A and B are shown apart, each in its own frame.
Chain A
Amino acid sequence: MYAEQANKLVLDAKRIQNLPHLPPYAATTVRAVTKEVRDLDREVSNLLAPYSSGSSSTTQSSDGTQQIKSSFSPADDPATACALLVNHLSMRRNKRCLLAYHRMRTDKLEGMCWSGVDVAEIQDASASASGRQSGGGAATSSLSAEEEQYVHQYSDLLAAYKGQWTDIDLTGSLEPPRDIFIDVRVLRDAGEIQTEYGSITLTRNSQFYVRQADVERLIQQGYLQRLS
């Protein structure tokens, strides 16, 4: 009660800040907090119910929400005013905590989009992590459905933005390359890629001496490992 659950979310958000991966979405806590907000709202309505006079005072405003004109005056009944204030503050606090939590997660997801981490891969990783915890139980995604949608739409936007400059890779590495050709080892099958010097088939555990520019993307996505 009174925004104690929401504190957990903020602690979680602070923890997420410094983590390399994204822990599972705290659906239960979020649901508990939203339920608390609804409870508080109901309580406020109950407190104010005696003061709203008749049906004539309930008007439908232009955006469709009901506005209740109330004859409540805080000066006459400071105790009720205090209860209302505390309820209202708690709702506002809950809102702030929820927003902070979700923003932290979306910031993190945006960062992942920019650094080229495959979101499906994050889900696999977290699924195996949670699978280990629950003894191979139902593997669930660490993203909520909304977050998944967010990531997809954000990466679409990012792709559209990058498409404007075909000769610059905006998400490319900022480190200037030292060598034109590098040794790479294939960590996962990536199929056949086309290069200037013909095509290479990247099968797992094989090694190649290739032009860095050709495989940079694949290294970032974790298909290849650079051997120094």
Chain B
Amino acid sequence: MAYYNPEAILTDAQKAPCTFELAVPGLAPLNNGSAIEHGTKLDLPLWMAEMLAVSKPAGPSSTSLASLDMPPALGPRVLNALSADPKSVELRAQAQWFYGLGERMLDLFDEEKMVELLIDMFSRQTFKQRALEIADKSQNTRTTQQGGDSGDFMGGLDETERQLFRAAHDGSNAVKRWFESSSRS
């Protein structure tokens, strides 16, 4: 199912900075028409960056075609801000599928310290605290719809969190409706 899932595809379309390790004259269109040299830096979508980073055409001992860096959305600045206060960061401004991006990057990087940091970030700190806030706000949509600070609140959620918000909101509404209809009959 994931192959056909638009969200999975769009998660893969998020960009990460890549540094080419060799000159590729044939790929000028990728770099807005100028040739790609050794050390050219480009923001490439994940589906392409991943394969470039792992494929080593000249045998397993050689360097890969391009090296992949952490996207700025998962850089130290954002991570520090998140550990300071998970609720204050507008994840959507960083990446539309922030958690998806983090998940994909965990697959690609194996530096233990960073991986640990990220996992800690996602599972214990950030997501937990933000989920609480989302659940809270979703029960109280009147303020959300009337703008105020909650308009910004929705704007700061990444796509996964929006789904969570919607699920929490629709869920409680459905229960309310069910109570009403079952008490009537």
Contacts and interface: CB of A to CB of B under 8 A. Distances in A.
Contact of A10 (B6, B24, B58, B62): B6
Given A10-B10, A79-B25, A90-B48, A2 B57 contact: no
A85 B51 contact: yes
Which of A7, A11, A89 gathers the greatest number of chain B CB atoms within 10 Å? A89
Interface stretch (A93-101, A116-124, A128-136): A93-101
A102 B61 CA distance: 42
A79 B24 CA distance: 5
A224 to B, nearest CB: 23
Given A47-B26, A86-B27, A93-B47, A81 B6 contact: no
A75 interface: yes
B7 A14 contact: yes
Interface string B18-46: 00001111110110000000000000010
Contact of B3 (A14, A83, A96): A96
Contact of A99 (B4, B24, B26, B55): B4
B57 A75 contact: yes
A193 interface: no
A103 interface: yes
Contact of A1 (B7, B29, B47): B29
A17 interface: yes
Contact of A79 (B3, B22, B45, B55): B22
Contacts of A74: 57-58
Contacts of A182: none
B164 interface: no
Given A78-B58, A78-B65, A90-B48, A103 B4 contact: yes
B9 interface: yes
Interface residues on B, range: 20 to 34
B52 A13 contact: no
A82 B62 CA distance: 14
A187 interface: no
Interface in A60-98: 74-75, 78-83, 85-86, 89-90, 93, 96-97
A104 interface: yes
B57 A82 contact: yes
Contacts of B55: 85
B148 interface: no
A86 B48 contact: yes
B6 A83 contact: no
A100 B6 contact: yes
B58 A2 contact: no
Given A2-B29, A83-B27, A100-B4, A78 B10 contact: no
Given A78-B57, A96-B3, A100-B9, A85 B52 contact: yes
A43 B24 CA distance: 14
A14 B58 contact: no
A156 B10 CA distance: 35
Interface of A: 1-3, 7, 10-11, 13-14, 17, 43, 47, 74-75, 78-83, 85-86, 89-90, 93, 96-97, 99-100, 103-104, 178
Interface of B: 3-7, 9-10, 13, 22-27, 29-30, 45, 47-48, 51-52, 55, 57-59, 62, 65, 185
Given A83-B24, A89-B51, 5 more contacts: A3-B45, A81-B65, A82-B27, A83-B26, A86-B27
8 contacts: A2-B29, A10-B9, A14-B6, A78-B57, A79-B23, A79-B25, A86-B27, A99-B3
List the 5 shortest-distance A-B pairs measured between CB atoms, nearest first: A83-B26, A74-B57, A81-B57, A14-B6, A13-B6
